[in-house]
Amino acid sequence: MAAASFLVFRTTLLPGVFGWDTGEAQTVPVLLGTMHPTGFPAYTVLGWIASIVLAPAGEPAVRMNLLSALLAAIAAGGMLPLLRRLGVPLVIAVVASIGLALTPIAWRISAAADVHALHVALLVAIVIALLRWEDRVRARRAAPGDDGAARSADRALVLAAALFGVSLANHALTLLLAPAVGAYVLAVDRGALSRPRLVLACAAACLGLAALLYLELPLRAGAFPAPLVYGNPDTWQGFWAVVLARQFQGSFIRSLADVVGALEAFARITVDQLGVLTIVVLPAFVVTAVRRTAYGLLSGLATLLTCAFASVYVNADIGRYYLGPAVFAWTWLAVAAGVVAELVGRTRQPGGGRWPAAPTVVALLLAVALLLPTALVLPARRDAVDRSQDVEMAHWLDDAMAGFDPDAVVVSWWSYSTLLWYGTLVEGRRPDLRIVDDSTRESEGLGSVDDVIDANLGTRPVLVIRLPQDLDDLAHRYAIEPVGRPGGVYRVTGHLEPQP
């Protein structure tokens, strides 16, 4: 399943560099630098390794895009063993794996460099590890005097904790999974928390790996400086400012005032992802909770917390936060379908015997029913996520690298800054350029946009790439002119004379 998913994802892959967070995810890992809050060190380290291993695949941007496709494919492939551990028939498990792979949100994150691709892969891995632990707890209870079975169960839980620690160092969304994991552990084996050695081993595996990975931030900002560092994570205050994402906390607080609007947006996202299957997701969850109570608690609580947070947090492309709920929704649908097939298999013929092929036939029919909504919209869905012809930003970067004034200071904003960092730092095409992003101004204490312009005007060429409202404001104080190519770039030629 993973290989098949990757082949599909490869057809819609972004062919090169892009801006915004994608450009950062294509740039920072290659340089082993530090990313915007919360730092994402697990993705950065993995991306650095991938940029070396995947070198034959093409330029660094392509390698990082391929990494997303690989990680999303691993998540889709991992659904198969996950669902089999939940007792789902093979044919339904295969279809649910396909369903997740072709869900718009999962397909879309496979198309370009994105930290969320690692998040969903780790989420699936954590759930598999927890289900494996649950199976071993049952085996231990079946053989109460078997020390080997007890040790095997303990190792399985420590592995799950270690995966959780890696995920924690990748994305803060993992924190929303913590209460669900805690509730699951209590539901499966309440006595696990009364065993100090096991608790300490899990804590050491989780927090130790997370801390080890987060060391990448201060090390690459301080002792072993990287060419591109976000903020000042080499200081105690700067480190926590990045890790705790303090600059984004206002987005959550402000959005609490529009809870109704946020819930409406959540409903639209759910329908966009699952289509007509949305109407059976809740009943499927109920069936799952009855059949596998502990897993229902884990998946239900994790979905509730993630959706509650995402529905009231407004910051850029928040739709990606629903990847976890999409995974769980497909598991509920698969488990419910498997239960229906099983119940049909228990029905008897009028003469008293059972229908021998009924469970298999019903499973096949239910698998078709699960996949049909996706199949009907597949061409349109593929067109919506396809980025294989998306070369506009790459051409913009080529024009910038060829046309920017020598030794220019470029006062940019995030969507273009990341693209320009890729061109100057990864490709090394214009080392003479100085890219000043809004984050750069804050971390280096450069002051306002005006302060940066004033500090350089008359000594170096100054180019600005700003949002329209910012340009209108600058035009009242400076003489600015478009540079022609690339579009959206303006040259500051001087101060305007004070008006009488």
Residues 415-433: tens digit of each pLDDT: 999 999 999 999 999 999 9
pLDDT band for position 133 (50/70/90)? very high
Alpha carbon 312 to its chain's center? 18
What percentage of the chain exceeds 90 in pLDDT?
A: 70
Contact 297, 184 (CB under 8 A): yes
Contact 30, 48 (CB under 8 A): yes
d(CA 265, CA 154): 42
Is residue 78 scored above 80 in pLDDT? Answer: yes
358-385 helix and 90-101 helix, angle to the nearest 10 degrees: 10
Is residue 349 scored above 80 in pLDDT? Answer: no
pLDDT band for position 499 (50/70/90)? very low
- DSSP secondary structure of 352-387: S-B-TTHHHHHHHHHHHHHHHHHHHHHHHHHHHH--
Q: Exposed (0-12), middle (13-18) or buried (19+): which is 56, by Cβ within 10 Å? A: exposed
Is residue 168 scored above 60 in pLDDT? Answer: yes
Q: In what order do the strands lie in the sheet with 478-482?
A: 434-436, 409-411, 462-464, 490-495, 478-482
pLDDT band for position 355 (50/70/90)? low
Specify the 3-state DSSP secondary structure of 491.
Answer: strand
Handedness of CA 23, 26, 31, 36 (dihedral sign): positive
d(CA 58, CA 78): 27
- Least confident range from 85-99, 283-297, 305-319, 436-450: namely 305-319
What confidence score (pLDDT) does residue 500 get?
45
Strongest mean pLDDT among 133-142, 270-279, 322-331: 322-331
Q: What is the mean pLDDT of residues 228-238?
A: 93
- Burial string for 377-388 (b: 16+ CB within 10 Å, else e) reads eeeebeeebbbe
Q: What is the mean pLDDT of residues 236-260?
A: 68
d(CA 99, CA 368): 11
What percentage of the chain exceeds 70 in pLDDT?
A: 90
What confidence score (pLDDT) does residue 200 get?
96
Give every CB contact of residue 466 below 8 A, 6+ residues apart in sequence.
Answer: 411, 412, 413, 449, 474, 490
pLDDT band for position 229 (50/70/90)? very high
What confidence score (pLDDT) does residue 450 get?
92
The domains of the chain are located at 2-385, 392-495
Q: What is the mean pLDDT of residues 123-152?
A: 86
The DSSP 8-state label assigned to residue 430 in this structure reads -
CA dihedral 162, 121, 290, 86 (to 10 degrees): -90
- Least confident range from 40-54, 60-74, 275-289: namely 275-289
d(CA 170, CA 153): 26
**What are the angstrom distances between the C-alpha of 474 and each of 275, 439, 471?**
46, 19, 5
d(CA 457, CA 141): 75
Give every CB contact of residue 261 below 8 A, 6+ residues apart in sequence.
Answer: none
